[in-house]
Structure 1
């Protein structure tokens, strides 16, 4: 037991986990919210702007009761709203690209929180999940891989030839201790953030499965039949009617959905998680197509990637270089032991 505790502390304090998964989360949620804001651009004033039926005054009254906050309610000016909307689009794009990620991740969290709180009665589970992930990603080193920060750090490291102060001198020793302490804090925050994200996804699937077990419609295999006949969730009525004709497949899909969600937290420590994640991918794609919930499905698919190891993403990098010969090979290389043991700051500065 002491050896296991020591190994756990070493993993938590010295070695960053799932750096590629954190990058995929950053790219995925940045892209999803960027696409979401672009899609709602023609309707932005009716949803979040001064022309919304839920006026900024009503929103402020609700904030006094709930404790929410939004930068969109600081002014009723239409010009101010347009500036905020443009800044939100730019922030999402920069976050997705990984430019100055440490600071931009905070701005991205502020953007998502502000838009979510401004029209909170129009949000769904996908919006709530993106909000939670945006807050969690602030504490992670999500710009360490597949980002402009990583590229800039690599270029600076190859071009930096300036002599450094010997660490055996008093000032060099102090600087070394300060650097080690800073890197330890960054590593601990990153690891804790990734563990919280994984726990959030497990809790989401487990609670959803347990709620479904309590319902009779999921037990007898008719829940999806009723869902396919809801006018609000029928982007293509003909496709929904065609799918509803297969009663046996609908019943199997109901039972399999409950089984996957309840069993998900218990299969994460073995190879069984890969077929489970594959089936969950198919389930979310079905939700996006048949029920017309692409944002929710995309948020769940991106969240599931946190359970894929870094070796999986390095393999994808190697595979992409075979398909795209001009791809940057240095992103997918295995990190050195010194690089794997420490998480340098995401802004591009090196120790």
Structure 2
């Protein structure tokens, strides 16, 4: 009897599962997409950028006004570091300064006046895109003209002035923001936008300009935050290598230097507290080293508050207000915008209450939600 040969069964389809490498590649792509979305969708930390603009503008304005009686000895033609010596140094360092373009005293006075005006306009936020570039030129020129008169605060202000020129630091708390708000209100009230179409090329150009501005601003704010982290981390690691910071006596020797004793009695009183000096030294090193690692947690605000106290102590005890002010302003980049919005709302409420009180306007009387019940006392 003939036997029938069984036909081979069709192979069952295999269930394909993504490999570990594909899943990892997808996670990396998703993360890159999230980072690109953050950089391109909307500008970040606009209020923090405004605080940096106002802070550094005011700080350098106060610096120029404070040194106004000594401007000729520091930057002018009467300086011991003459423009010729500065030019010879520029040949080696590749720096430049508008103050060395002429030896005329009239030219120097005009430059100094324009520098003061530029700082004031930068604080007010008037035509910020152009004024921010002028502010960076002013800071770089004065820093390069008397580079041996500079300290850590001047170096940080110079870096931040260059970085702020790439940010949209005039979007908040500025005359530019006020002008844009009034223009938008006038356009809405006049109905100018109704029935009005923008040509497609101009629309695409506007979108490209907005995207470029957003990316450059976000990158600039990231560079500012990274600069502060590098500064704190490098300072802390440099202190760890020193034996005086290791045994807790570094601040004692600093407080006994005559160059850093604006209040000798106060410095001597603090220097005699050996245990306090040791704790403060160890705490300063710990805060600086740990700062880059606590930025994404709740301890960030505690560390920022302690750093504020540390810089305030440096300003008072060591007589370095420019350096302390520059560091305190730099720390403001890590505070969220909701904090600055709360401060702005609180300031506006206080100003309105004072204006109403000065004008004699009575405060509104609030009626109780629950009417008085019969038989209640009073």
Judge same fold: TM > 0.5, yes or no: yes
Aligned pairs (5 A) from 1:162-177:
162-163=192-193, 166-167=196-197, 172-177=199-204
> TM-score w.r.t. structure 1 length?
0.90
Query: In the alignment, does 2:70 pair up with 1:43?
Result: yes
1:4, CA displacement in angstroms?
2.4
Match of 2:148 among 108, 111, 121: 121
1:182-240 residue CA offsets vs partner (Å, 9 max, x unmatched)? 00000001000000000000000000000000001111110000000000000010010
Question: 1:300 aligns to what?
Answer: 327
Cα distance in 2, alignment partners of residues 36 and 294 from structure 1: 10
RMSD across aligned positions (CA): 1.4
Q: Give the match's secondary structure for 1:69.
A: coil
Cα distance in 2, alignment partners of residues 323 and 156 from structure 1: 27
1:327-350 residue CA offsets vs partner (Å, 9 max, x unmatched)? 99xxxxxxxxxxxxxxxxxxxxxx
Match of 1:84 among 97, 107, 111: 111
Cα distance in 1, alignment partners of residues 335 and 255 from structure 2: 32
Cα distance in 1, alignment partners of residues 120 and 324 from structure 2: 21
Match of 1:254 among 281, 301, 305: 281
Match of 1:135 among 132, 148, 162: 162
1:267-294 residue CA offsets vs partner (Å, 9 max, x unmatched)? 0011110000000000000000000000
1:22-43 residue CA offsets vs partner (Å, 9 max, x unmatched)? 0000000000000000000000
> TM-score w.r.t. structure 2 length?
0.84
Question: 2:84 aligns to what?
Answer: 57
The answer as to whether partners of 1:166 and 1:172 remain within 8 angstroms in 2 is no
Aligned pairs (5 A) from 1:213-252:
213-252=240-279
Question: 1:201 aligns to what?
Answer: 228
1:246, CA displacement in angstroms?
1.1
Cα distance in 2, alignment partners of residues 99 and 326 from structure 1: 28
Gaps of 5+ in 2: 1-26, 356-378
Question: 1:179 aligns to what?
Answer: 206
The answer as to whether partners of 1:321 and 1:327 remain within 8 angstroms in 2 is no
1:326, CA displacement in angstroms?
6.0
Q: Give the match's secondary structure for 1:325.
A: helix
Gaps of 5+ in 1: 329-351
1:319, CA displacement in angstroms?
2.1
Cα distance in 1, alignment partners of residues 234 and 226 from structure 2: 12
Query: In the alignment, does 2:324 pair up with 1:324?
Result: no
Cα distance in 2, alignment partners of residues 165 and 276 from structure 1: 54
The structure that has the greater radius of gyration is 2
Aligned pairs (5 A) from 1:70-81:
70-81=97-108
Cα distance in 2, alignment partners of residues 206 and 122 from structure 1: 25
Cα distance in 2, alignment partners of residues 172 and 232 from structure 1: 65
1:322, CA displacement in angstroms?
3.5
Q: Give the match's secondary structure for 2:166.
A: coil
The answer as to whether partners of 1:102 and 1:143 remain within 8 angstroms in 2 is yes
Q: Note closer, same or farther for the CA distance 1:86–1:99 as it changes in structure 2 (3 Å cut).
A: same
Question: 1:145 aligns to what?
Answer: 172
After the TM superposition, which segments of 4 or more aligned residues of structure 1 sit over 3 Å from their partners? 163-167
Q: Note closer, same or farther for the CA distance 1:165–1:136 as it changes in structure 2 (3 Å cut).
A: farther
The answer as to whether partners of 1:320 and 1:327 remain within 8 angstroms in 2 is no
Cα distance in 1, alignment partners of residues 342 and 152 from structure 2: 32
Query: In the alignment, does 2:298 pair up with 1:271?
Result: yes
Cα distance in 2, alignment partners of residues 321 and 92 from structure 1: 25
Question: 1:33 aligns to what?
Answer: 60
Cα distance in 2, alignment partners of residues 327 and 44 from structure 1: 40
1:244, CA displacement in angstroms?
1.1
